[in-house]
Amino acid sequence: MIADALAGRRLLVTGSTGFLGTALVERFLRSVPGSELVLLVRAGRRSTPERRVQREVLRNDAFDHLRAALGERFDDEVARRVTVVGGDVGTDGLSLDDGGREALASCDVAVHAAAAVAFDSPLDRAVEVNLLGPTRLAQTLQSVGAGPHLISVSTCYVAGNRRGRAAEVPVFDAPFGPRPAWREEVDAARRARADTEAESRTPPLLARFAKAARAELGAAGVPLLADKAERLRETWVADTMVEAGRARARALGWPDAYAYTKALGEQALRETRGDLPVTLVRPSIIESALAEPRPGWIRGFRMAEPVIITYARGLLREFPGIPEGVVDIIPVDLVVAAVLDAAARGPAEGADPAIVQVASGSANPLHYRHLVDLVHGWFSQHPLYDAKGQPIVVPRWTFPGRGRVQHQLQRAVKVIDQAEKVLGTLPLRGGQARWAADLEERRADAARALEYVELYGAYAETEAVFAVDQLMARWSTLDAVDRSRFGYDPRVIDWDHYVTQVHLPSVVEHARVRVTAGGRSGPSRTERLRARVLSPERHLAAFDLENTLVASNVVDSYSWLATRRLAGADRVRFALRTLAEGPSLLALDRKDRGDFLRHFYRKFEGAPVAQLEEDATQLLSYLLVTKSFPAGIRRVRQHRRLGHRTVLITGALDLVVERNLAPLFDDIVCARMGTRTEPDDGRGPSWNGELRDAPPTGEARAQAMADYADAEGLRLEEAVAYADSASDLPMLEAVGFPVAVNPEIRLAAIARKRGWLVEQWSKAPGGPRPLLPIGPPTRRTSFPTRPNPVR
């Protein structure tokens, strides 16, 4: 019996934080009570291996049955039977310490389930983990003096893009196909990484990344733009290595880098294992559980789930595939049982490793058309619902070729890209900016569909049939008890029942999609976010001014002040000149907000201090009456009533904001302009047009807020920030609760992508709507000989 054979044995498991690995750990602990486990786990960036096991493995709902059976004894049982060892199969020697080496030396069986399972892994990452990982583990086991039975989990798709029967034989024993040397492939992959990293740092590409960062973030400040440019460089390197993996795999006859590196990993293990006994277990496409630990159990989305949900949302109108072809999927619990059986049996006799394929295609085929019909029928009866509560009608696929579908989706992405570029040149904000955000969401949907076609299309078109002769031969030797407790016979699967009663309901449950009609009950997402923002637990609320609390900007303010004392003809000429400057001013603002402010504040050079202070008082009164957002003013007062500190951080001049807005805020951080030390022509002090300090824009605004919070003993993670522009990103990203107010296009897209609260505040109705931002004329002129004292 399987359980008896494994009782009292110590088993090493790699990859326990993954889908198959979690199922293996749960089944070992529940079904083989006398065994002990050693889990080799790579440390996370901020988490130890032990914490990863607690959080990512033992808290998974796969353990609900075992936890309920053991009750309060669960933690003690795990502590007694499970040892966690820090290590990484992607590095030579596995990065083990002395304690880890001792733990490995005590193991009787090693199950290697760790892998870079993504079909679009970068070439070098797939090589280090999938190709070299099994060999590294085997060599380390031998180096510590251990000789356990190594069960290495591979994949049926090491057979490549072949047609017909794929036998349970070594990869390169097949009569056709290339036979690449695995060591040369390793060297080439590492060179490709080094060459790609070097190319990414060449001046043309660095300039390209910087340009793309500015196109996305605008005048967000040098640190944020530099960080974005570096992330774009890293993304370019990763994408280039992903494409290198795809290209190399397809050139050699494999669908992707995963299958290609798994195949070479088998060959490397055969050549380097020495006397270590090895069994290769090759599953096909592993999907949700048929029965254990419960029907439909799944961890994360596998290959089919993203395609299914995208189809159910009406976003995948077509998908390639051969309707009469076989989709070879196998429930995870059957794979786990086959691994347990291999561990209990021990290694096969003979020089070569035993090879066991765990698949369904040859014994109980599920044809592609039948699967598509089942999915279509189920979602026709159980549709998902759109944002308006209406059922989504799923399309009928016509099984076009992969090239045709890719071409259609590539064309859709290109058209949307062009439309986004056009919208990006327009000064849209608020509700209008949502057009761009909606367009970006559509582009993401099209790009996601294209990615699925590129990644998984080859698997829908496969014509290989995976033999399971060894699997069925082993099955025939089991007694009734083991067949009942450790079933892995693929012939027992009723595909209609599994797809419609087990798999699809589980997929929908884990996808967190809308499955009920009509309007949503309870508070909306916006209402929930707003409640969090206005929680008494918040410490600080920081506000931008222009286009956040008032529908105005520095151009409006300057124009109002500059024209207040001009004659009619001069006012018209000023307005026309300002309109003509519009495009260049917009470009300057998008390039650097600080330079934009300095450009205008230079124009105040020579303006009398007393006159400008008088006019500025009138200006803000005018703005508050005619252009303020009443909802924004109420929001400031709400924060103050809740006991939050409120601070205004703006690039506007102190003479404009401090006298009128001081009662509304606890503190104000703003731009301050210097004065001339000598009187100008006997008219009294005048402004020199130069700022005393750097204007609070971009990262300076975020730093000012951070300094304020530090001085007041407040925590930014409990702070709220309100702003309207991508140039305010440093301030918004610095707080725990960012709010985009009437956002311009870039910020609208970023806020939607990151799930931030978006407020659309408008001016009070009935106020004046002047065509141009010019101040009302006044007869009070201090200097009749100088009609335009503000230049």
CATH number of 640's domain: 3.40.50.1000
| pTM for this prediction | 0.79
Determine the Cα–Cα distance for residues 64 and 324; give it in Å rounded to an integer. 39
What pLDDT band is residue 783 in, cutting at 50, 70 and 90? very low
Residue 772 included in any domain? no
DSSP state of 390: P
113 and 186 assigned to the same domain: no
- In a domain, residue 702? The reply is yes
Q: What is the pLDDT of residue 791?
A: 35
Residue 778 pLDDT: 58
User: Is 775 domain-assigned?
Assistant: no
CATH assignment of the domain containing 273: 3.40.50.720
Same domain, 443 and 547: no
Cα gap 314→324, rounded to integer Å = 24
Tokens in use for 623? 């703005």
The alpha helices in 144-276, defined as continuous H runs, are 182-200, 203-217, 222-251, 257-272
pLDDT tens digit sequence for 594-614: 777 887 788 788 888 888 777
Same domain for 498 and 561, yes or no, is no
Phi and psi for 687 in degrees, rounded to 5?
-80, 145
- The residues pairing with 200 across neighbouring beta strands, listed in sequence order, are none
Tell whether 673 is covered by a domain.
Answer: yes
Find out whether 305 and 511 touch, Cβ atoms under 8 Å. Answer: yes
637 φ, ψ to 5°?
A: -65, -35
Q: Once rounded to an integer, what is the mean pLDDT over residues 69-78?
A: 92
Structure tokens at 54: 């607690």
Buried/exposed 115-136: b ≥16 CB within 10 Å, e otherwise: bbbebbbbbbbbbbbbbbbbbb
How confident is the model at residue 626, as a pLDDT?
77
Instruction: Tell me: do 185 and 270 sit in the same domain.
Output: no
Residues 276 and 405 both lie in one domain: no
pLDDT recorded at residue 534: 95
Across residues 650-679, what is the average pLDDT? 83
Rounded distance, CA 241 to CA 233, Å? 12
**Cβ atoms of residues 327 and 370 within 8 Å:** no
Least confident range of 79-93, 355-369, 752-766: 752-766
Select the more confidently predicted residue: 153 or 554. 153
- Residue 208 placed within a domain: yes
135 Cβ partners below 8 Å, 6+ apart? 265, 268, 269, 272, 273
Contacts of 246 (CB under 8 A, 6+ apart): 120, 256, 257
Q: Which of 188-197, 468-477, 483-492, 701-710 has the lowest mean pLDDT?
A: 701-710
Average pLDDT in the chain: 85
- pLDDT tens digits for 315-360? 778 787 788 888 999 999 999 999 999 999 988 776 688 999 999 9
Is 661 within 8 Å of 668 (Cβ atoms)? yes
Give pLDDT, residue 191.
97
Whether 696 contacts 707, CB under 8 Å:
no
The answer, yes or no, to whether residue 773 has pLDDT greater than 70, is: no
Could you identify the residue written with the tokens 């109705």?
Answer: 765
Residue 25 CA to residue 63 CA, distance in Å, equals: 9
Dihedral sign (CA 621, 627, 632, 638)? positive
Stretch 367-377: mean pLDDT, rounded? 92
Residues 101, 84: one domain?
Answer: yes
The answer to whether residues 408 and 454 touch, using CB atoms and an 8 Å cutoff, is: no
pLDDT of 184 above 90: yes
Q: Are residues 601 and 667 in the same domain?
A: yes
Determine the pLDDT at residue 66. Answer: 92
Q: What is the mean pLDDT of residues 5-30?
A: 94
Of 313, 301, 320, nearest in space to 255 by CA: 320
pLDDT over threshold 60, residue 785: no
79 exposure class (CB count in 10 Å sphere: 0-12, 13-18, 19+): exposed
Q: For residue 85, what is the enclosing H or E element?
A: strand 82-86
Q: Is the pLDDT of residue 465 over 80?
A: yes
Looking at residue 788, its pLDDT comes to 38
Give the tokens for residue 12: 């090493």
* Max CA pair span of the chain: 111
Query: Is 150 within the bounds of a domain?
Result: yes
Report the distance separating Cα 413 and Cα 625, nearest Å: 45
For residue 320, the model assigns a pLDDT of 78
Asked whether residue 1 falls in the same domain as residue 146, the answer is yes
pLDDT in tens, 434-445: 666 677 777 777
Note whether 175 and 186 are same-domain residues: no
Res. 748: pLDDT tops 80: yes
Distance CA 626, CA 214 (A): 34
Q: Exposed, middle or buried, 317 (CB in 10 Å: 0-12/13-18/19+)?
A: middle
**Overall number of domains in the chain:** 4
For residue range 508-527, list pLDDT tens digits in order: 988 878 888 766 666 888 89
Determine the pLDDT at residue 524.
82
Which domain covers residue 594, as residue numbers? 529-759
pLDDT at 131: 96
Can you tell me the mean pLDDT for 154-175? 87
Q: What percent of the chain has pLDDT over 90?
A: 48
Residue 89 has pLDDT above 80, yes or no: yes
| Residue 704 pLDDT exceeds 80 | yes
Whether 313 is covered by a domain: the verdict is yes
> Same domain, yes or no, for 744 and 706?
yes
In which element (H, E) is residue 94 found?
none
The highest-confidence range among 167-176, 414-423, 707-716, by mean pLDDT, is 707-716
Confidence class of residue 243 from pLDDT cuts 50, 70 and 90?
very high
Say whether pLDDT at 719 is over 80. yes
| Residue 691, in any domain of the structure | yes
- 443 and 473 housed in the same domain: no
CA distance 26 to 30: 6
564 shares a domain with 459: no
689 contacts 671 by C-beta, under 8 angstroms: no
Interior CA angle at 211 toward 210 and 217, to 5°? 85
